[in-house]
Amino acid sequence: MVRMLEKYRTEVAPALMEQAGTKNPMAVPCMEKIVVSMGVGAAVEEKKRLEMAAKDLARITGQKPMICRARKSVSNFKLRTGYEIGAKVTLRGARMYEFLDRLIHVAIPRMRDFRGLSPRSFDGRGNYSMGLVEQSVFPEIDAAAVEWSQGMNVTLVTTARNDRLGRDLLTGLGMPFRTDSSAGDGQKPDGQKPDEQKPDEQKPDEQKPDEQKPDEQKPDEQKPDEQKSDGQKSDEQKS
């Protein structure tokens, strides 16, 4: 039996049943399928890139990929209906759990600057999608023999009714989701950095340009004890 499938049956499913308060194993979510796809837009001008991408995808998944064709014509991209622009593979059963095992324990830890998967990539129905920048994170691909770096999309389809159940399932299987404290962006929930200040806010000691302190005086004003008029000076001299 595949290791990941055995883990689901012996550890994950009983934990989900206890959490849901049910004794029916069919009431808890499980993995339905995994779809791995590659979009090769450069294949419009160079068909060899699609052939290489399909070979790499077959090595990674252990299954022959299906070639995807364009459904619409886009003149800006020199694309016409029927052009081969991608490849995809749908995995089910034991092969799906075997690929998930390699994805979690081998491919994801080899990603550059990895700080955890985003927990916001669920679609609202318990399905999760993620992207890989290059195919060389899988050990089946020889990095020295790769001519073009090709990314891929991985969609994990579950039977969960909502995102919370889907996340509990994938977390139990070992998906390394990023927590809020390890987001690493250093921002507050409203998008403001801790040390920054909004433009319309000022510190207590700062003063607006058009305001003056009480002790300061405008240039055109004079103090009461300063210069007197010429008439007052002449009256003082007579006396």
What average pLDDT does the segment 173-200 reach? 58
- Crossing angle of helices 47-61 and 93-102, rounded to 10°: 100
164, containing H or E segment: helix 163-173
What average pLDDT does the segment 28-50 reach? 89
Specify burial of residue 70 (Cβ count, 10 A radius: 0-12, 13-18, 19+). middle
Q: How far apart are the first and last CA of the chain?
A: 121
Question: Residue 108: pLDDT band by 50, 70, 90 thresholds?
Answer: very high
**pLDDT over 70 (residue 228):** no
Both tokens of 14, joined, read: 């009983």
Specify burial of residue 236 (Cβ count, 10 A radius: 0-12, 13-18, 19+). exposed
**pLDDT over 60 (residue 216):** no
pLDDT of 233 reads: 52
pLDDT > 90 in the chain, percent: 47
Domains of the chain: 3-175 (3.30.1440.10)
Q: Give pLDDT tens digits for 76-85.
A: 888 888 888 8
Question: Residue 229: pLDDT band by 50, 70, 90 thresholds?
Answer: low
Burial 174-184 (b: 16+ CB within 10 A, else e): ebeeeeeeeee
Do residues 107 and 98 lie in contact, with contact meaning Cβ atoms separated by under 8 Å? no
C-alpha–C-alpha distance, residues 104 and 155, integer Å = 13
pLDDT of 85 reads: 86
Q: Give pLDDT tens digits for 44-99.
A: 788 888 999 999 999 999 999 999 998 888 888 888 888 888 999 999 999 999 99
**pLDDT over 50 (residue 193):** no
What average pLDDT does the segment 162-185 reach? 82
